[in-house]
Amino acid sequence: MEQAVYSLCFMCSIRCPIRVMVEDGRVKWIQGNENVGAMGSSLCPRGSAGISLLYDKERLQYPLIRTGPRGSGQWRRASWEEALDMAGEKLRQIIAAHGGHSVALTERAQLSTHVSKTFLKAIGSPNHFTHDALCKGSANTACRSLFGVTDGEMGVDLANSRHVVLYGRNLFESIEVKPVRGLINALAKGAKLTYIDPRVTVSATKAHRYWMIRPGTDLALNYALMHVIIKEKLYDAAFVDRWVEGFQDLRKFVQHYTPEWADRETGIPATEIVELAREMSAVKPNCAFHYGYRAAHHTNEIYVRRSILMLNALLGCLEAPGAVFFKKGPGAVGRKPARKLTEQKFPKIEVPRCDKVGTPDFPLPDPAHGVPQMLPHAILNQDPYPIKALLVYRFEPLMSIPDKQLTQKALDALDLIVTIDVNHSDIAWYSDIVLPESIYLERLDCVQQLNSLSPQMFLRHQAVTPRYDTLEGPMILKALGERIGIGEYFPYESVEDLVRWQLEPTGFRLEDFAEKGFVSYTSEKLFWDRSEGMKFKTPSGKIEFRSSLLENAGFESFPTYESMSSPPEPDQFRLITGRQALHTHVSTQNNMYLNEITPENEIWLNRGRAERLGIRNHDLVRVSSSRGSGTIRAFVTDLIHPEAAFMLHGFGRDSKLATRSYQRGVSDSLLQESITDMVGGSPALHHTFVTVTPV
Ligand SMILES: Nc1nc2c(c(=O)[nH]1)N[C@H]1C(S)=C(S)[C@@H](COP(=O)(O)OP(=O)(O)OC[C@H]3O[C@@H](n4cnc5c(=O)[nH]c(N)nc54)[C@H](O)[C@@H]3O)O[C@H]1N2
Ligand SMILES: Nc1nc2c(c(=O)[nH]1)N[C@H]1C(S)=C(S)[C@@H](COP(=O)(O)OP(=O)(O)OC[C@H]3O[C@@H](n4cnc5c(=O)[nH]c(N)nc54)[C@H](O)[C@@H]3O)O[C@H]1N2
Ligand code: SF4
Ligand SMILES: [Mo]
C-alpha cells in the first residue's frame, strides 16, 4: 500500500518540506509538501534525484578503516563496534596528550549541529567550525554591525515585493524552492526584477533589467546609488530620522561617489544607476535589495553586504510587506522553542579558538561558526597550539576550503581524521576512519525550528529503514562520546528520545507532526511597528550606519573605495564560481541522474578574449593559478564579462570509489588562493586570477 510521509529534503541544506510516497518499503516518488502554501508540490531537480541517492550502490554502505597510506584507497570493512572503538581509543590518547582543544570538528550547520557542538564542549574544545563563514560569514558580520542580529535572523519577503534587486543572487539556479516560488508569484503580479552579475545566468534572463557588472565592483555601484538617493531626497526621511545612527556621516561620505564615477568603475551607465534609485524609491517600502546568500567573494565583502543593507534602511524597506524582515521566534507569541543539548552545563573552556576568532587578531566573525579557511593555517603553523585530530561531519574541507593543496598538507599533519558522510567524498577518501550516516530518507532527525514572519517547527520523518549498515549522526556521536567518557552529555537512547526531549518545553508532541510534517505557533504574520516598535539589538537600539561593533574593534564604518584591479595579462581572468540547478556544492556530482545531465564543469570565457587567445568553443584548455592547475573544456560565449572566467563549483574529484565523478572537470578549490576578508570572515573566493591557455 502506498503511504505518504512528510519529511524534509536534504539534497541540499535548504531543507525544503517534502512528501515522500512509500510503497512496500520503497520510495516511489518525492514531491514538495503541499500543506506548505509557499512550497506546493514543487521540488528542484536535486530534490527529485533523492531517490537515486537512496538506491545508489556507490554511496557509503558500512564503516571503513584505512589500511594503506592516506589517499591510497586501501580500505577494509569494519563493524561499528570496531570502527568506533578505534576512533574512540585514538581520540582518548590525543586528548590525554594534547588536551581536548587539540580536536577540531568541521560541519555544514544542520539539524544535529547542537549534538556535535555538545561533543566538543564536553571535551573542552572551542574548535567547532560550521561552513557559515565560507558561505556568507561577511553577511553575518554585516548584519550584526547594522542591526545587532545575524543574517540567519533575517529574511526577504520576496512574494510580496514590488521590485527586487539581486546582486549575483542567482535564485533561479541556486535554488531554494519557497523563495523561487515567491519571486515567480511576485513577478506574475507585476513586480520588477533587477539582476546584477558579470554573467548572464537564468535569473538574468527573467529580469526586467540586467547589468553585466565588472567583477568585484558592486560596492562602487552601491555608493553611487546611495549618492543619488540622498542627493535627490529619495529616502524615507521619517524612518531614517527615527531609526538610523550615522546618516549625516554617510551623506558626507557618498558625496563624491557620483553615478559617473561608478560608471567608470563598474561599466554600468550612470543614467541607469539614477533610474534604478528612482524606481526603487517610487515603490518603497515594498521592495528589497537582496543582501545575498553567498557573500564570499572579495576582501571588502563585509562593506558590500553592509552597503546593500544600508540601501534598504535608507528606503525604509524593513518590516514591511515585500521588504527585508526580522525573523520572529516562538518568544514573540509567548511560547518556547525546541530545546538543544547545548543548553546543558559544560566545563569552562580556557583556550581561544584556533582560528583566533573572538581574539584581538580576528575580533568580528561569529564565534558560533568560526572561520574554517583558517584551520589549515592553524594546523600547519601550530598556532596558537597544535591541532591533532579532525572530526568531519557533513562537510568537505578539501573541496569547500580554498587552496586544496594547502588543506591536504594540513590534513597530512594530523594524527587522526574521522569522517561522517553518506558519499565517497574526497575527504572520506582521505580519512583514517569513515563512519557512514543513514541518508535523510532513512532517518528521523532533530527538530527544525523555522523562525520567520510566523514561527513554525518542522520534522524530518524517517521514510524508509536504512538499506545498509549505517546510523544516524546523533547516535554515532553518542557512541563515540561514550567511548571517551563524555556519555552523560548524550541523555537519549534513540533519535526519537532526543526529539521528544527537544519538544518538551514547546507544547507540541512528536505525533503532532504526522499529519502535515510541521506545526505552527501562530497563523499570523508578525511585523514590528515601524514607527516605534523596531527591536534592533545594537548598543544604540538603532540601525548603526556608524557601527559601534566595527569601530570598537578598530575598523572603519565608511572605508574609502579601492578600485578593483583588472587581470594584468592578456591571458588572465578573474576566476568566479557558482552553482547551477542540477548540483549541490560538492554533494551530488556522483548522483546517477544528475551526473547524467551535468557530468563535468566547463570554464566560461568571453568570446572576444577567447578568440584572441586562439581558443574555440569546447576546446580543452589549461587553467592555472598560483595554487594549482587543471585541464578543462572551454565554453566560449558572449554571456560573460571579458574580465571574468566562470566555473561551476564541486567538480574535479579524487575519490576513485565515486566512479562517475572521478577526475571529471576541475575543482575551483584547487585554483583559489586562501585569502580572507579579515573584518567579516568570508574567504575572498573571487580574488584569484587564472591564466588560460590552449592545450
Ligand atoms: N571553493 C569553494 N568553496 C566553497 C564554495 C564555493 O563556491 N567554492 N561555496 C561555499 C558555500 S556557499 C557553502 S554553503 C559550503 C558548503 O560546503 P560543504 O558543506 O562542504 O558542501 P556540501 O556539498 O553541502 O556537503 C558536504 C558533504 O556532506 C556530505 N553529505 C551530504 N548529505 C549528508 C548527510 O545526510 N549526512 C552526512 N553525514 N553527510 C552528508 C556530502 O557527501 C559532502 O561530502 O561551501 C563553501 N565553500
Ligand atoms: N542548485 C543549487 N542551489 C543552491 C545550492 C546549490 O549548491 N545548488 N546551494 C545553496 C547555498 S548553500 C547557497 S550559499 C546559495 C548560493 O546562491 P547564490 O548566492 O546565488 O550563489 P552562486 O550560485 O554561488 O552564484 C554566485 C553568482 O555570483 C556571480 N558573481 C560573481 N562575481 C560577481 C560580482 O562581482 N558581482 C555580482 N553581482 N555577481 C557576481 C556569479 O557569476 C554567480 O552567478 O544557493 C543555495 N541553493
Ligand atoms: S532546494 Fe532542492 S535540493 Fe535543496 S532542499 Fe529544496 S528541493 Fe531539496
Ligand atoms: Mo552556501
Q: Considering every ligand atom, which ligand is closest to the CA of 445?
A: 1
> Band of the pLDDT at 293, cuts 50, 70, 90?
confident
The rounded distance, in Å, linking the Cα atoms of 277 and 402 is 36
Beta strands 75-77 and 64-66, pairing class: antiparallel
Distance (angstroms) between ligand 1 centre and the Cα of 627 equals 21
pLDDT at 31: 97
Which is the closest atom of ligand 2 to the Cα of 584?
7
Quickly count: other Cβ atoms within 10 Å of residue 563's Cβ: 10
Closest C-alpha to ligand 1, atom 38: 421
Q: What is the DSSP string of 619-676?
A: -EEEEE-SS-EEEEEEEEESSB-TTEEEEETT--B--TTSTTTBT-S--HHHH----B
Cβ(293) – ligand 2 distance below 6 Å: yes
How far does residue 601's CA lie from ligand 3's centre (Å)? Answer: 21
Start-to-end CA span in the chain (Å): 57
Which residue has the CA at smallest separation from atom 4 of ligand 3? 12
Distance between CA 457 and CA 446 in Å, rounded?
11
Ligand 3: residue whose CA is nearest its atom 7: 47
Q: Separation of 440 CA from ligand 1 center, angstroms?
A: 15
- Distance CA(394)–CA(113), nearest Å, equals 10
Angle among Cα 524, 529, 533 to the nearest 5 degrees reads 120
Please work out whether the CB of residue 421 comes within 6 Å of at least one atom of ligand 1.
yes
pLDDT reported for residue 37: 86
Distance CA 69, CA 517 (A): 46
For the chain, give the mean pLDDT. 97
All domains of the chain in start order, with CATH: 2-54 (2.20.25.90), 64-133+336-520 (3.40.50.740), 158-322+527-552 (3.40.228.10), 572-694 (2.40.40.20)
Beta bridge partners of 174: none
Q: Tell me, using a 6 A CB cutoff, whether residue 170 lines ligand 1.
A: no
**DSSP states of 427-495 as a string?**
HHHT-SEEEEBPPGGG-----EEE-BSS-EEE-----S--SSS-B-HHHHHHHHHHHTT-GGG---SSH
What spacing in Å lies between the alpha carbon of 168 and ligand 2's midpoint?
6
pLDDT in tens, 423-441: 999 999 999 999 999 999 9
**Beta-carbon neighbour count of residue 184 at 10 Å?**
17
Is ligand 3 within 6 A of the CB of residue 311?
Answer: no
CA distances 190 to 159, 160, 164, 193, 320, Å, are: 11, 10, 11, 10, 18
**Closest-approaching ligand to the CA atom of 32:** 3
Q: Is the CB of 176 under 6 A from ligand 3?
A: yes
Q: Going by DSSP bridges, is the β-strand pair 448-450/456-458 parallel, antiparallel, or unpaired?
A: antiparallel
CA–CA separation, 474 and 480 (whole Å): 10
Q: Say how many Å lie between the CA of residue 484 and the centre of ligand 1.
A: 28
| Other Cβ atoms within 10 Å of 271 Cβ, number | 10
Q: What is the CA(376)–ligand 1 centre distance, in A?
A: 17
Residues 629-639, mean pLDDT to the nearest whole number: 98
Amino acid at 680: G
In which residue are the cell numbers 553567498 written? Answer: 294
| Digit-coded pLDDT (tens) for 323-354 | 999 999 999 999 999 999 999 999 999 999 99
Testing ligand 1's pocket by substitution, the residue of 422, 589, 647 carrying the most ligand atoms inside 8 A of its CB is 422
Q: Is-contact 146 324, C-beta < 8 A? A: no
Ligand 2 center–CA 62 separation, angstroms: 34
pLDDT in tens, 541-566: 999 999 999 999 999 999 999 999 99
Over range 613-638, report the average pLDDT. Answer: 98
Return d(Cα 402, Cα 372) in angstroms, integer: 10
**Which of 197, 203, 669 for a ligand 2 pocket mutation test, highest count of atoms within 8 Å of Cβ?**
197
* pLDDT value of position 576: 98
pLDDT at 368 over 90: yes
Grid cell at residue 360: 584581538
Give the closest residue (by CA) to ligand 1 atom 1.
669
Contact 691, 680 (CB under 8 A): no
281: left (phi over 0), alpha (psi -120 to 50) or beta: alpha
In ligand 3, the atom with minimum distance to the C-alpha of 14 is: 5
Amino acid 167: pLDDT: 98
CB of 288 closer than 6 A to ligand 3?
A: no
Instruction: For residue 503, give Cα distances in angstroms to 71, 160, 511.
Output: 42, 32, 11
Give the separation between CA 636 and CA 206, rounded to whole angstroms: 22
Question: How many angstroms does the Cα of residue 675 sit away from the middle of ligand 2?
Answer: 19
- CB 439 near ligand 2, within 6 Å: no
**What is the rounded average pLDDT of the residues 176-184?**
96
Report whether pLDDT(178) > 90. Answer: yes
pLDDT in tens, 81-113: 999 999 999 999 999 999 999 999 999 999 999
* Cβ of 424 below 6 Å from ligand 3: no
- DSSP for residue 383: -
From ligand 1's centre to the CA of 534, what distance in Å?
Answer: 36
> Is the CB of residue 148 less than 8 Å from the CB of residue 142?
no
Q: Which atom of ligand 1 is nearest to the CA of 425?
A: 44
Which residues lie across from 636 on neighbouring strands? 605
Ligand of minimum distance to the alpha carbon of 443: 1
Query: How many Å apart are CA 171 and CA 190, to the nearest integer?
Result: 18
- Residue 188, phi-psi category: left (phi > 0), alpha (psi -120 to 50), beta (remainder): alpha
Using the mean position of ligand 3's atoms as its centre, give its distance from the Cα of residue 60 in Å. Answer: 21
- Separate counts of helices (H) and strands (E) for the chain: 23, 27
Residue 558: per-residue pLDDT? 98
Could you tell me if the CB of 429 is within 6 A of ligand 1? no
Grid coordinates given for 442: 532513512
Per-residue pLDDT reduced to its tens digit, 405-422:
999 999 999 999 999 999
Q: How confident is the model at residue 1 (pLDDT cuts 50, 70, 90)?
A: confident
Give the whole-angstrom CA distance, residue 77 versus residue 687. Answer: 42
User: Ligand 3, closest atom to CA 11?
Assistant: 3
- What is the band of 38 on the pLDDT scale with cuts at 50, 70, 90? confident
Question: pLDDT digit string (tens) for 210-240?
Answer: 999 999 999 999 999 999 999 999 999 999 9
In the structure grid, which three cell numbers stand for residue 97, read together? 596528550
